[in-house]
Amino acid sequence: MSNNTEFRTCPTTGLKVDLAAEKLIKVNAVAAVVFLAIGGLFGLLVALTRWPEVHLLPADFFYLALTAHGLDVLLVWIIFFEMAVLYFASAVLLGSRLAAPKFAWAGFVLMLVGAVITNIVVLQGKSSVMFTSYVPLKAEPGFYLGIILFAVGALIGCFVFFATLVVARQERTYQGSIPLVTFGAMTAAIIAVFTIASGAIILIPTLLWSLGYVANIDPILYKTIWWAMGHSSQQINVAAHVSIWYAIAAMTFGAKPLSEKVSRMAFLMYILFLQIASAHHMLVEPGFSSEWKIFNTSYAMYLAVLGSMVHGMTVPGSIEAAQRSRGLNKGMFEWLRKAPWGNPAFAGMFMSLVFFGFIGGISGVVMGTEQINLIMHNTLYVPGHFHGTVVAGTTLAFMAITYYLVPLIFRRELMFMKLAKLQPYVFGIGVAGISVFMMGAGTLGVSRRHWDMQFADAVLPFDYPSAAFLMMGLNGMSAVLAAVGGIMFVVVVVGSVFFGRKLEKDEKPSYPEVPPQSAAVAQHGSAESLKIPGTTMLVAIFFIAFVLYYFVNWKYLSEIWPLS
């Protein structure tokens, strides 16, 4: 195998790139973007329907669109892109050949076939069960079958990744330990194996049930195991996008982790404290004890949260250290003010970091508190929270690194640079808007997954407060902004990939610039001379916001009816 592997050398980074790996990165990334476009369109339709003054879709099509939105973006877009990230972090960063490219192709085809099957079945209209498909709601067998095929394909991708790590080690393509970004990707892949196993345990019986071979599936059991997949898959996303934060910091600033040890430990936390059975999705379900809930949400969860809080400091900290070492030393924030805000990869990455922490992170921990969940469960607060994590966090980070992938892996000049510069801001602000306004509506009680907040056709009348309608109007406007940002992204990326100027062999693209040499930075990022007061300030603001918001919600809780 290894003797007929072809490599090229990247003129910008000097990395050795296996052409087979490069091709697989390309196809996975393209598939990802296609499904982001489809799923994002469904998201816009959903948001426009939930805007009371617009109320676009009829009820049946709304529930169909919501099911398709959840599947296409959360599952298909993100996981296809993660496959590209895995191949990049293994073969490319280690300068190795990709192990078993044929298997990787087989995995890709399975994923594609699965995604297409599930989409067709959903569009046929008899499987509008939401992506969670809680039993006893029943979808057509093809719905589950497609997801299972997709998951098997992803599992193959994970094993190709592990095999590549082994190959690289055996063939000594690198010295010492694997890079931090590869390490982060490895934690993602390990969690993915656990995730997919849980998915198989629950979805295969459910498929059989849908076919009529199994009589009954317990709804609580289903939900517990389903979320063992559903929650841990979010931990994959976090591990993947945090790795991308580090990668972009390195590729833009030549930034070094403040300390390898701390950053790697923080990744390890994600595996060690992967929340057991995903208890925070089960806080108001019958049949669990409070001991079980508290143990599993806090012991297990707060240590994973600790991991994220550590990354939240070390990533900006490493950027600050790199900038300061280059003389941007004035005051607290010169390093940040003079950061390349016109570079879409950096702008997207930094907004991803801030929004993930402030919006997605804080709300997630608050909502995952045993008792506070009572005032939030299944309200729009929940989608508000996860658009902060998985859209403003993961999706924005994936978009950001794409701006580097197009010139470096697709070998095309980036087109529409002006549009690209604006894109992260338009998308980021739009998504921050939908997150915050859905959280606001949820705090006022508005239900998620709901076609008509006016209850026009219900037998018994009920009115949400008028502030809730305002929130949903603002949510609709933010959704339009986010959709515009999404379209800008697709235009830039698809335009460049298919019509951008092809780079000559060994030609350096005009964007991105060559990363400054890491030698400019001290031996390790945290060498004594490097103080990071700006990051310390940012972290302090974050912490204060977190503590205040946490206790405000206990206050809200204390105002509802006493119950025990």
Under rule CB under 6 A, which residues in 27-56 are in contact with ligand HEM? 40, 43-44, 46-47, 50
Q: Which of 24, 178, 188, 229 binds another protein (CB under 8 A)?
A: 178
Residue 411 interaction partner, one of another protein, ligand HEM, none, beta carbon < 5-8 Å per kind: none
Which amino acid would we find at residue 305? Answer: V
Residue corresponding to tokens 């918001």:
549
Encoded amino acid at 557, one letter: L
215 binds another protein (CB under 8 A): no
Which range of residues in 72-80, 172-180, 253-261, 408-416 is near ligand HEM by CB under 6 A? 72-80
* Nearer Cβ to another protein (155/365): 365
β-sheet bridge partners, residue 9:
16
Using CB atoms within 10 A of its CB, is residue 102 exposed (0-12), middle (13-18) or buried (19+)? exposed
Specify the residue for token string 């009680």. 445
Paired with 7 in beta bridges are 18
What amino acid is encoded at 35 in this protein?
Answer: F
* In the complex, minimum distance from the CB of residue 66 to ligand HEM, in angstroms, rounded to a whole number: 5
> What is the rounded CA–CA span in Å between residue 202 and residue 143?
14
Tell me, by CB under 8 A, how many residues bind another protein: 107
Q: What angle do CA 265, 267, 272 make, to 5 degrees?
A: 85
Beta bridge partners of 447: 379
Q: Does 247 bind another protein (CB under 8 A)?
A: yes
Closest CA to 474 of 41, 73, 52: 52
> And the tokens for 436?
């915050």
Residue pair 423/346 in contact (Cβ under 8 Å)? The answer is no
The structure tokens listed for 205 are 């019986």
Cis amide leading into 179 (omega within 30):
no
Of 153 and 317, CB closest to another protein: 317
Q: Please state, in angstroms and as integers, the Cα–Cα distance from residue 39 to each residue in 14, 70, 119, 146, 348, following that order.
A: 36, 7, 10, 16, 20
DSSP string, 313-351: HHHHHHHHHHHHHTT--STTTHHHHTS-TT-HHHHHHHH
Nearer to another protein, 213 or 561 (CB): 561
Interaction with ligand HEM in 376-415: which residues (CB under 6 A)? 383, 387, 390-391, 395
| Window contacting another protein (CB under 8 A); options: 142-150, 188-196, 327-335, 523-531 | 523-531
**Closest approach of Cβ 482 to ligand HEM, in Å?**
4
50, interface contact from ligand HEM, another protein, none, CB < 5-8 Å by kind: ligand HEM
Among 1, 166, 214, 374, binds another protein (CB under 8 A): 374
Residues 453-512 interacting with ligand HEM (rule: CB under 6 A): 479, 482-483, 486
Q: Which stretch binds another protein (CB under 8 A): 140-148, 292-300, 408-416, 495-503?
A: 292-300
Contact yes or no for 164/99 (Cβ under 8 A): yes
Nearer to ligand HEM, 56 or 276 (CB): 56
> Quick one: which of 208, 276, 306, 336 contacts another protein (CB under 8 A)?
306
Peptide bond between residue 316 and the one before it cis (omega within 30 degrees of 0): no
Indicate whether 66 belongs to the interface with ligand HEM (CB under 6 A).
Answer: yes
Closest contact distance (angstroms) between CB of 538 and another protein is: 11
Residue 185 site contact among another protein, ligand HEM, none (CB < 5 to 8 Å, cut-off depends on kind):
none
Which stretches of the chain bind ligand HEM, using CB under 6 A? 40, 43-44, 46-47, 50, 66, 69-70, 73-74, 78, 130-131, 383, 387, 390-391, 395, 434, 448-449, 479, 482-483, 486
